[in-house]
Amino acid sequence: MPDVTKRSVDPATQQVLKHIEGQPIKTTWDRHDEMQPQCGFGQLGICCTNCYLGPCRIDPFGEGAQQGVCGADADTIVARNLLRHIAAGAAAHSDHGRGVAHALHLVGKGKIHDYHIQDEEKLKQMAKMYDIKIEGRSKEEIAVDLGDKFLGDFGSQEGPIKFISRAPRKRIEVWKKAGIIPRGVDREIVEAMHRVHIGVDNEYKSIILHGMRASLGDGWGGSMIATEAQDILLRTPEPIRGTVNLGVLKEDQVNIIVHGHEALLPEAAAKVVKDPEMIKLAKEAGANGINLAGMCCTANEVLMRHEVPLAGNFLQQELAIATGAVEMMMVDIQCIMPGLIDVAKCFHTEIITTSEKAKFPGVTFIHFDEHDAINIMKSIVKKAIENYKKRDKSRVFIPKDKKDLVAGISTEVISCILGGKYLNTFKPLNEAIINGRIRGVAGVVGCNNPKITHDYGHLTLVKELLKNDVIVLSTGCSAIACGKAGFLQPEAAFEAAGKGLKEVCEAVGIPPVLHMGSCVDNSRILIAACEVLKAGGLGEDISDLPAAGAAPEWMSEKAISIGFYFVSSGVFTVLGGAMPVLGSQNVTKFLTEDMESVCGGKFAFEADPLKAATLMIDHINKKREALRLRPMMYQGK
Amino acid sequence: MKKIYFDVEKCLGCRSCELACAVSHSAAKELEKMISDKDKSLPRIKINFSKDKNYPMSCRHCKDPKCVSACMAGAISKDEKTGQILYDEKKCVGCWMCVMVCPYGAIRPNKKVKIPVRCDLCTDIGEPQCVKACPVKAIVYFEESELEKVKSKK
Amino acid sequence: MSKQIVIIGDSAAGVSAVDAIRKKDKESKIVVLSDENFPSYCRCVISDFLAGKVTEDKLIYRSNEFFKENNVELKLSTKAIKVDPKKNRVVAEDISDNKAEDKKARSAKLQFDYDALLLATGASPKFPDLKGIQKKGVFGFRTIQDTKDILQFVTMADTACVLGGGLIGLKAAYGLKKRGLDVKVIIRSPNVLSQVTDKTSAELIQKRLSENGIEILTGRDVSEILGNGDIKAVKLDNNKVIACQIVIAAKGVRPNTEIISETEIKVNEGICVDEYMKTNIPNIYAAGDVAETFDVTLNKPSVNALWPHAVDQGKISGANISGDSIKYDGSLGMNSVEFFDLPLVSMGIYKESQNHETLSKIYNNDYKKVVIEGNRLVGAVLVGNINHSGVFLKLIRDKIDISQIKDRLLNENFGFADIRDLIKEEERIYVK
């Protein structure tokens, strides 16, 4: 039997894994074991299947073929593969963003009735940025124009895309010099695919530079548009209390899990499950109500705006079903494992997929059309209630573990908390950094990956950072991991934070790890960085800040794109495992050394989270020194 | 003795065995780490290709080993008890006589470090790593007598 | 039935004969005579010793313990001088004090009676008949002692001339170059290694040697070695004089057959043996560099003085002395050597001729050539990439009909997979 403590450090996860031992249920960990050893050529990035001259691969030992059939060497192949990953990651975020922008446009036009403009202030702020006339116009009229402008940034040919202008002046200069300002979100992705086609771009630096451009189109484009448009339609998150972990599932209620990355779908679900008619139906079916819970980033979205509890992060998706207590898992897009289907077959759980883009063999597809969101959601929820009757109560196993947390700390909220409602400024944070109470800021983000013990990477890294007075901004599955460990509670500062950070958290009443949202909300971290710079005293460019990023358990192509837009924006970023680039020494060196001279940021690959923390802290110290900040108040380090 | 055998019908030529072999004989024992070594350890098993099929090959630990006679430095010997062909890296001078006489082409030079590359059955680990690495079980490890049984079952 | 077995020579052939005899026969008395003062060592590695790449202890092939464990009486510094087949006796002398001028007078005569005798006396360097060849500073390059003598001179020398561009000459040149000397190789033929490999491959090696500072003078011979006592220079046949302090005579070797000159044992170039490694005298065998065996590529007897052959021949003689009747499958010329990172493998017939078809390809320093006679492979040369060269040897030795795979022979990765269907699988490899 596999050692569950090697699979996860999360007690709820361990319990479910133990519980299903011996049952014919395969989880991602089992499949990961079966997959060993994973292909070394893929791992090193030296396999190319881009054309049918191939498949080709480079002999990493220098004995066999050193060039593909077309003549591409390891540098070219590795760089092209990497650019494909960036393009896919940027495409995922951006296509998500496009959907929301389109919805904003339709809401303005009055074609969608189930969603409304909820954050008028942000609508106007964005409209101003795009020079849209505001005076004397209804919010709907503005929304139509803003939606159009957003969509325009996707299709723009010349650029630059609008949100690039939100970056500090110096940063824009850096991008200009490197020639990597995105001209249009879609254009850069399409061009990326063009460049990696056989016989187009073969110079690894040129390929990677375009990858940086495409990723900036994600971070400062697609993802940022997704975040802002979601805020406008669904309101900008504010601090909210919630609970997290598999223990949020309820034994006596109809459990529905929303899973994926959309914000619009769970919004409708959150409304519908509160509908008295639905609750009545649930009671009739013998349940004590309807319990909606979230999984992955969909969970983060709906938690921040509706207090819907979080059932877990990426590696827990199959385990939620394995509790035997889930009537329905409603999925939309991204990070939904097809492995769910087989687990669901072992139970009564019904999986419904809602996106035209994401079908699963044998899984019912119900198109979630924003035009008729509530009605469609009702029909889905009804199916879940119906399914409750099929639940085999003897097989239900819900671990008790759950933790309270505070989430929904958007950039706007941080400045509010720090400066008070009327001051609205990052100054107190800057002062705390300048006077040495807080060492610096870390963005810890990203996925889970069975390559590393579940949540261990996130938690070990975060713990070490907090101990060293580094305040942590977190999103996505990393934020959920932090929530499960209690780091998202203000009280965590007492236990986990260094003395200086503790004093600040105490004074302001915030947790030492700030939950900033889903993975498209990494754009919030970029904006937060800009706000910090505006508040003064910490340099003029993002690369001046005593800050670093990390994705200790990354796995997705989105994570690669995020990593690239962080680094391209000047952030030193540590990835838990190496990207598949080690087959080319040149590309590896470019990413981990030379990139710094191009954009002020660079990557590091470090699988050991403690060592990763040291790298980040060293970097932050270096930046503190460069800014001539005061020594740390309580520690010599 | 237990030997490594290959199933040509199954081998997809993915070369996972090669990588696993090189890694297990490296100092770092990890692909991502050893790949930046200056003098990389090389795979002792190689996939050869002929007429649409892949033929993995590694030292056969022959009953009548040509390499043992040919080794003019006395670095290669046969362990009469286990039947294994042993190799003493310290005695080797890199003359490549063993390469010249191996009828299977199962020994080749590591030109950088001037020692021949040949299978040691991973004796120090206990189990040949290529066997473990093969995703389609095209590499098997057992007694020659058992091989006959497997063959007749098919 | 315990016997008394005498083996003359403790190198490759002698040692492997001991191995083979003791595999079957733990009883018989074995006496091994060696005219050298070192335990069995790796003769071919002396160039690395000369180069300073290996230390003397690394040269040991079989230590004294090996002989003890195998219950063998090893007599070092014991030079066999005569074989008397009628009396079944070997006469030898103790040469441990051979530095003295009157060694003959001082050395005691020794006698060894045998039931079976193995002549594994090896070969000696040929010294050209040159004026000055006896001067101090002229060396052969065959033994540890030769090497040590050369090394004594190396510290005082700045230039060495090597006479002869065969393997021994080039290996000596390589070793001396590594010791920091200016080295000039003087060769009568138009290129190096003319007795080992073809012109194209030899030129690649020659180029590599020149690039690494070894000067090669082809088409030249030495007419005189100059100096009073110590060498000062060599004079070439074009009257050019090259100053040097060391001369290595590497004009080939000659089988050591003197000790049987007064017997009826048949000698051609080397001692003639049958396929059981037996001479024309029933209880006398010969193996190694002294033996003339059937060459499978030339199709006639020949001396192929090579370490692997010596081991195999010793093994077969030993087994047959102990009562087996194992046949030797013949020898062939084959060499593997590497100079300054450029490896060369040459086997069998390498010269172009009317009876043979040759296929070859060259790409930078990678060269591959095969020589075909009818539908059989009879020779191959590989430079640079020598992987899979043993597969060619297999084809040559087993006289495989290669007509089906002829078009693949020069492929980069031509290997065992390509010949699998053509041969008998001696060792099982594949499940199916």
Residues C16 and C109 in one domain: yes
Angstroms from C429 CA to nearest CA on chain B: 5
| C148, part of any domain | yes
Q: Reduced to 3 states, what is the DSSP secondary structure of residue B81? A: coil
Q: Identify the pLDDT of residue C102.
A: 56
Best of A35, A57, A63, A605 to substitute, by most chain B Cβ atoms within 10 angstroms, is A63
Which class is B2-58+119-153 in CATH?
alpha beta
**Quick one: A388 and A434 in the same domain?**
no
Confidence of residue B154 (pLDDT cuts 50, 70, 90): very low
Report CB contact under 8 Å: C390, B72.
Answer: no
Residue A631 forms part of a structural domain: no
- C160 in the same domain as C186: yes
Domains B2-58+119-153 and B62-104 share a fold: yes
8 Å CB contact of A40 and B20: yes
- Residue A495's domain is classified under what CATH number? 3.40.50.2030
Model confidence at C259: pLDDT above 80: yes
Q: What is the CA radius of gyration of chain B?
A: 16
Question: Which chains neighbour C (Cβ–Cβ under 8 Å, 3 or more pairs)?
Answer: B
Angle at Cα A419 formed by Cα A415 and Cα A422, nearest 5°?
100
Residues 31-90 of chain B with CB under 8 A from chain A are 31-32, 35-36, 40, 42-43
**Residues A428, A551: one domain?**
yes
Q: Are residues C148 and C189 in the same domain?
A: yes
| Domain assignment of residue A449, given as a range | 405-626
Structural domain of C298: 4-124+253-321
With H, G, I as helix, E, B as strand and everything else as coil, classify residue A627: coil
Q: Let me know whether C242 and C261 are in one domain.
A: no
| A241 found inside a domain | no
Whether C101 has a pLDDT exceeding 80, the answer reads: no
- Same domain for A430 and A485, yes or no, is yes
Q: What is the CATH number of the domain that holds C395?
A: 3.30.390.30
Question: Does C79 lie in the same domain as C150?
Answer: no
* Residue C219 placed within a domain: yes
Per DSSP bridges, beta strands C334-339 and C159-163 are unpaired
Q: What is the pTM of this model?
A: 0.85
Is A68 among the domain residues?
no
Q: Which residues of A97-115 are buried (b: 16+ CB within 10 A; e: fewer)?
A: bbbbbbbbbbbbeeebebb
- Can you give the CATH number for the domain in which C217 is found? 3.50.50.60
Q: Are residues A271 and A182 in the same domain?
A: no
The reply to whether A360 and A505 lie within a common domain is no
Give chain A's domain count: 4
Domain spans of chain B, in order of start? 2-58+119-153, 62-104
Count of structural domains within chain C = 3
Last residue of a domain, one of C246, C267, C283: C246
Quick one: C59 and C170 in the same domain? no
A239 falls within a domain: no
- Determine contact, residues A94/A186, Cβ cutoff 8 Å: yes
Residue ranges with strand state E in chain B: 2-6, 46-50, 53-57, 76-78, 85-87, 108-110, 115-117, 139-143
* Same-domain pairing of A213 and A264: no
Ramachandran angles phi, psi of A354, nearest 5°: -120, -10
Percent of chain A with pLDDT over 90: 93
Same domain, C211 and C274: no
User: Do A131 and A255 sit in the same domain of this protein?
Assistant: no
Helix axes A557-568, A204-217, angle to 10 degrees: 90
Largest CA distance in chain C: 73
Tell me the per-residue pLDDT of A439-451, one tens digit each, with 9 for 90 and over.
999 999 999 999 9
The residues near A391 (Cβ < 8 Å, ≥ 6 apart) are A324, A325, A327, A348
Of A428, A441, A330, nearest to A377 by C-alpha is A330
Set of chain B residues whose Cβ sits within 8 Å of the Cβ of A62: 40
User: Is residue A260 helix, strand or coil?
Assistant: coil
Could you tell me if A452 and A520 lie in one domain?
yes
For residue C359, pLDDT over 70 is answered with yes
Residue C187 has pLDDT above 80, yes or no: yes
Please report the DSSP string for A483-529 in residue order: HHTTTTSTTHHHHHS-HHHHHHHHHHT--SEEE--SSTTHHHHHHHH
Q: Per-10-residue mean pLDDT for chain A, 637 residues long? A: 92 97 92 87 95 94 92 98 98 97 97 95 97 96 97 96 97 98 98 98 98 98 97 95 97 97 93 96 96 96 95 98 98 97 96 96 94 95 97 96 95 83 82 96 97 97 98 97 97 95 93 96 96 95 98 98 98 97 97 98 97 98 97 76
- Please report whether residue A474 resides in a domain: yes
For residues A484 and A597, membership in a common domain is answered with yes
Listed in sequence order, the DSSP H helices in A236-334 are: 264-272, 276-284, 296-306, 317-322
Three-state DSSP class for A252? coil
Q: What is the dihedral of CA A66, A70, A72, A77, to 10 degrees?
A: -100
In Å, how far is B32's CA from the nearest CA of chain C?
Answer: 27
The mean pLDDT value of chain C amounts to 93
pLDDT of C389 above 60: yes
Which runs of E-coded beta strand occur in A321-400?
326-331, 350-353, 364-365
What are B17's two structure tokens?
């065995």
User: Under CATH, to which class is B62-104 assigned?
Assistant: alpha beta
CATH number of the domain to which A101 belongs: 1.20.1270.30
Going by C-beta distance under 8 Å and a sequence separation of 6 or more, which residues neighbour residue C5? C21, C28, C29, C30, C31, C114, C115, C116, C117, C118, C321
pLDDT at C32: 97
Question: Residue C363, exposed/middle/buried by CB under 10 A (0-12, 13-18, 19+)?
Answer: exposed
Same domain, C239 and C259: no
Q: In this structure, are C218 and C150 located in the same domain?
A: yes
ipTM reported for the complex, 2 dp: 0.94
Of A160-164, B143-147, C321-325, C345-349, give the lowest mean pLDDT range.
B143-147
Chain A residues touching B15 at Cβ < 8 A: 40-41, 57
- 312-371 in chain C: CB under 8 A from chain B: 312, 315, 334-338, 341, 343, 345, 347
**C-alpha distance across the termini of chain C, in Å:** 47
Residues A581 and A615 in one domain: yes
Q: Give the model's pLDDT for residue B37.
A: 87
In chain C, residues 366-425 whose CB comes closer than 8 Å to chain B: 386-391, 393-394, 408, 413, 415-418, 420
Give the Cα separation of A165 and A167 in Å (integer): 5
Indicate if the pLDDT at residue C99 is higher than 80: no
Task: Give pLDDT, residue A123.
Answer: 97
Mean pLDDT of B37-62: 90
Residue B150 pLDDT: 67
d(CA A195, CA A210): 9
C336, part of any domain: no
Tens digits of per-residue pLDDT, B77-131? 999 899 999 999 999 999 999 999 999 999 999 988 999 999 999 998 888 999 9
